[in-house]
Amino acid sequence: MLAVCALSMFLVGLDTTIVNVGLPVIGQGLGADTRSLEWVVDAYTVVLASLLIAAGALADRFGRRRVFRCGLVVFGIASLACALAPSLGFLVAARAVQGLGASMLSPVALAIVVNAMPDPRERARAIGVWASVFGLSMAAGPVTGGALIEAFGWRSVFWINGPIIAAALVLVAVFVPESRGQRARRLDLPGQVLLTLAVSLSVAVLIEGPRIGWTSPLAMTGYALIVATTAAFVRVELRHREPLMDLALFRRPLFAGSVLGAVAVFVALNVSLLLTTFYLQHARGWTPLQAGMVTLPMALGATLCAPWSGALVGRLGPRRPLLLAAGFTTAGGLCMVNLAQDTSVLVLLLAYLLIGIGFGFANAPLTSTAVSGLPPSRAGVAGAITSAARQVGAAVGIAIAGGLVAEVSPTGLAHASRPGWLLVAACGVFLFLVARVSRPVTDRN
């Protein structure tokens, strides 16, 4: 059962980053500029982030296996539509539907695992495996995408989902029992609409801000709408009998720190991936496969360290893995702050290895910290919020990185990307603060 859930998480994570390395080729094929291409990634992550929590509530009410299977089917149909997309607008719409399907997989998979493993130690190890697979898939996306695009073209990054989904559907039918929440929550429709608007508006302003002007009337209107929808969301959630997002969870420093840490980790990862894609393919003229292979150390670092991180969390708690994640992420970002047109490939390989190791160490302790000390009835919601935070971080990272390089000539890409690498290092520094919050009480004393 854990393998089935891990397979679905591999699919969700893979499709978050596998497209990144192909964005320049997709742009050439569909006649799109860099800023428009950002929506190919963010249409998926915004919808996924917005609907994760509601999907968990639906699974509690209608059955986790049923919603899980529905998510696989929707994801598969949307992948087919992406592979056949005749235009950029069609591709962006299909990616949004992919995000809808993915939202039914991530929190439901975690809830299935938590429900099946009541022992805290066993659950911690399972969560470590779950988070490790997700982290591995995110880091492996560029390598996999580069190889597929080189051999079969950019549409193959969507065709590859077919066999994975078919295998998952068979395994779910055989190994995953049906389960429901002890007390099914009602769907908070006003909260869902407001959350979706707030996230979508925030990402839209980040993507379009450089084009329309950060102080233009249109941008000012966007800021006002973001503040208004966010305030309305908080007000609705505080008054709703069964809110979409349990804001009381944020009173726990452990939970609040893990959510903010998840955002930071995924901002760092996605800034790294997008800046790397355009720098290597536009500034240095490399193919998608070459660009993907250079990021292979990132995937290897995540692959080797993610299981180790899960084991450390089970034995020692989340603090030490988070400290390692913070140190390696910071070092990786600092390696790239002086990026130039002719920076040595060895420097690139070292930076990507460090960032991959940091990413590998981060996921398990953040997930474990989010749900630690909570009963199973609230652990599902906490896990869903943390998963949503990851996707918000991914969307924000793509928007920020795209804004840095969208209208820059190939010769200026290296210099233009330097603030992005400083941001990666800053995200690593922030993880040091999260690690401090996550220390056991005895450690603090």
Q: Taking residues 118-122, what's their average pLDDT?
A: 66
Segments making up each domain of the chain, as ranges: 2-187+244-444, 188-243
pTM: 0.84
pLDDT computed for residue 77 by the predictor: 96
- Candidates 410, 397, 367; CA nearest to 107 is 367
pLDDT computed for residue 135 by the predictor: 65
Are 305 and 361 within 8 A, CB to CB? yes
pLDDT tens digit sequence for 1-28:
666 667 777 887 788 778 888 888 999 8
Q: Taking residues 193-219, what's their average pLDDT?
A: 89
Instruction: Count H helices and E strands in the chain, helices first.
Output: 20, 0
Least confident among 109-118, 165-174, 270-279: 109-118
DSSP 19-76: TGGGHHHHHHHHT--HHHHHHHHHHHHHHHHHHHHHHHHHHHHH-HHHHHHHHHHHHH
pLDDT tens digit sequence for 260-275:
999 999 999 999 989 9
Least confident among 57-66, 74-83, 97-106, 430-439: 57-66
- The more confidently predicted of residues 438 and 250 is 250
- The more confidently predicted of residues 140 and 326 is 326
**Angle formed by the axes of helices 345-371 and 376-405, to 10°?**
150
Q: Which CATH class is domain 2-187+244-444?
A: mainly alpha
- Of the chain, the end-to-end C-alpha distance in Å amounts to 40
pLDDT computed for residue 141 by the predictor: 82
Grade residue 206 by pLDDT with cuts at 50, 70 and 90: confident
pLDDT tens digit sequence for 73-111:
999 999 999 999 999 999 999 999 999 998 888 766 666
Q: Taking residues 292-317, what's their average pLDDT?
A: 83
